[in-house]
A and B are shown apart, each in its own frame.
Chain A
Amino acid sequence: MPHKPPTQEELEKRKIVGINLETVTDVSSSDFPGHYPGEDHAWDIERFKQGFSVEFHQNDPHEASFSLIGIHASIANAFRRIMIADVPTLAIETVFININTSVIQDEVLAHRLGLIPFTGGREGLTEFIKWFKKPAEGEEPNLKDFNTVELALNVKCEHNENADPNETDPTKLYHHAHVYAKDIVFRPIGRQVDHFSGENTIRPVNPDILIAKLRPGQEINLTMHMHKGVGSDHAKFSPVATASYRLMPTITITEPILGRDAEKFQKCFPKGVIGLEKVTAKEAAQKGSGYEGHEGELKAVVVDPKSDTVSREALRHEEFKDKVKLGRRRDHFIFLVESTGQWKSDAIFVESVAHLKMKAKSLEKQLVNMVR
């Protein structure tokens, strides 16, 4: 029997994950060789190039949202995982505490400092700063201007002589009652002056992060070393606050939903997902459309499925039974990348792709070595 090539409609249907009231269907992709007899599903870069597209929804330094369309979950997930765990950033790794008479313990203070996200000259951070090799037991650390950034924090809390005698606010009553991230001072070393001066100074992303509270006589005096690291070692090195994706929701209205029902239907979804339109004379004249005799009434139309949360509320109501079909597009990934500030959000994704390529490249070389 000769094989009939799938219709466009069939191909679209294959991309949809069905979402029913209590169950899901067609969860796995089926575009593998041998799944459909007679069809060619071998990997082909040209075919991928044609079917793949990127759509941006938001592109701000601290938050980017974009869609990757026409890609498999295993690859989208690899990018997501790399963004979280493998894209390097600079963070405080070592804290040398000279004086800490605050109520916050040394180790807790060091931990808090480590979690503060820093930023600075992007070219310097990615190109100039290299990996720091942890010294072996008893070995001298190899501290250089290209692998270590030195910071200092030096604050002492004192009485404010000019404060009103009835003042109760400690921030007015004392100097330096609160220690903030902005009190951290960057100490450039060697060539760091060329890369990190002026607007490129290494500084906390958010100057108002509270580090500790002090009272008169208490003092914090410490120096810190920052190194490059990755999120798989410690979450403080992760360049993202979140990097996640969700599948594009689909809502298909199979039979007209009209009048009061349409208004109720609209309320089953988040704002803006479902719109109400008047049934036109043309539609009402069309036989078998379900609009006959309903000219001028409101009908429910899908406006913005991307904003849907796929709560399945519409499926709970008897009046919408068999009139709506919910689903998700298996190859449409809506990414949300929230940068902590050291990288631009979109640059994190570009870096994750470069990282995956680099991984595959080095392993290909290794494979050749192994065979040899």
Chain B
Amino acid sequence: MAARPDSEDIAMDDAPTSHQPEVKDDAMVDDEGLDVDENENGNEYDEEEEEEEVQRIKLLPGSTETAASFEFTNEGHTLGNALRYFIMRNPDVEFCGHAIPHPSEPKMNVRIQTFEGTTAIEALEKGLRDIQELCDVVTDKFVAAATDFDKKKAATA
């Protein structure tokens, strides 16, 4: 299994990789870089525990039940515009918009205002669920169309 032995190569790894004073022969070159200890059954090194996800959605100050701004970290127009479209297709929503306040900050804001009877959070949740539903439909139809096309092409070839 793959794992880095603790002992042998430490000295070499400590050397700065950008400047290598000695010209190594081929045998040595083969030894550098990635190391594998075939004997070690190092499952504990594999597929490390996924780090606990940091909270990426924040409710911005000034938000009320029916009118709220959300701050998404590490999201951009890709999700922002698609999400905005779905939320705007919700008849209970009065307004929805998205913005990236500054291009050098990895943040995207979504503003949602709803009519009475629902909340901005619910509207956002519905929007995110709608995206997932759409993705399933698109995948199904796309894969079906692709296999169909390939089959027809194979038949004519």
- Using a CB–CB distance below 8 Å, which chain A residues touch chain B? 31-34, 40-43, 45, 48-49, 52-56, 59, 66, 68, 71-72, 74-75, 77-78, 81-82, 85-86, 94, 96-99, 130, 140, 142-146, 148, 150, 152, 154, 187, 189-191, 221, 223, 225, 346, 349-350, 353-354, 356-357, 359-364, 366-371
Partner of A72, one of B53, B59, B85: B85
Q: How many angstroms between the C-alpha atoms of A223 and B30 in the bound complex?
A: 9
Q: 17 A–B contact pairs at CB < 8 A?
A: A43-B86, A53-B145, A56-B148, A74-B81, A77-B81, A78-B81, A96-B32, A142-B4, A154-B29, A223-B33, A349-B142, A350-B143, A353-B135, A359-B131, A360-B129, A360-B135, A368-B125
**A49-B36 in contact (CB<8A):** no
Q: B118 CB to closest chain A CB, in angstroms?
A: 13
**A357-B132 in contact (CB<8A):** yes
Chain A residues whose CB sits within 8 angstroms of the CB of B136 once the complex forms: 357
- Using a CB–CB distance below 8 Å, which chain B residues touch chain A? 1-4, 13, 17, 20, 23-24, 26, 29, 32-36, 38, 45-47, 53, 55-59, 72, 75, 77-79, 81-86, 88-91, 93, 121, 124-125, 128-139, 141-146, 148-150, 153
Please name 11 further chain A to chain B contacts, defined as beta carbons within 8 Å, in addition to the given A59-B146, A225-B33, A366-B56, sorted by A numbering.
A42-B89, A45-B130, A45-B134, A54-B142, A66-B142, A94-B17, A96-B20, A97-B20, A98-B29, A146-B2, A370-B57
Partner of B146, one of A32, A154, A346: A346
- Nearest residue (CB) in B for A69 is B141
Chain A residues whose CB sits within 8 angstroms of the CB of B26 once the complex forms: 154
Q: Nearest 5 pairs between A and B by C-beta?
A: A145-B2, A43-B89, A357-B135, A56-B149, A33-B91
Partner of A143, one of B35, B129, B139, B143: B35
**B132-A367 in contact (CB<8A):** no
**B29-A52 in contact (CB<8A):** no
Q: How many angstroms between the C-alpha atoms of A349 and B56 in the bound complex?
A: 26
Chain A residues whose CB sits within 8 angstroms of the CB of B121 once the complex forms: 367, 371
**B20-A363 in contact (CB<8A):** no
Q: A48-B134, A78-B78, A357-B136 given as contacts; is B128 within 8 A of A363 (CB)?
A: yes
Interchain Cβ contacts within 8 Å, total number? 183
**A54-B134 in contact (CB<8A):** no
Q: How many angstroms between the C-alpha atoms of A148 and B82 in the bound complex?
A: 34
Chain A residues whose CB sits within 8 angstroms of the CB of B141 once the complex forms: 52-54
- Nearest residue (CB) in B for A71 is B138
**A353-B139 in contact (CB<8A):** yes
**A96-B81 in contact (CB<8A):** no
Q: A33-B91, A43-B90, A223-B33 given as contacts; is B132 within 8 A of A361 (CB)?
A: yes
Q: A33-B89, A75-B85, A78-B78 given as contacts; is B139 within 8 A of A354 (CB)?
A: yes
Q: A75-B82, A221-B29 given as contacts; is B135 within 8 A of A98 (CB)?
A: no
Chain A residues whose CB sits within 8 angstroms of the CB of B72 once the complex forms: 363
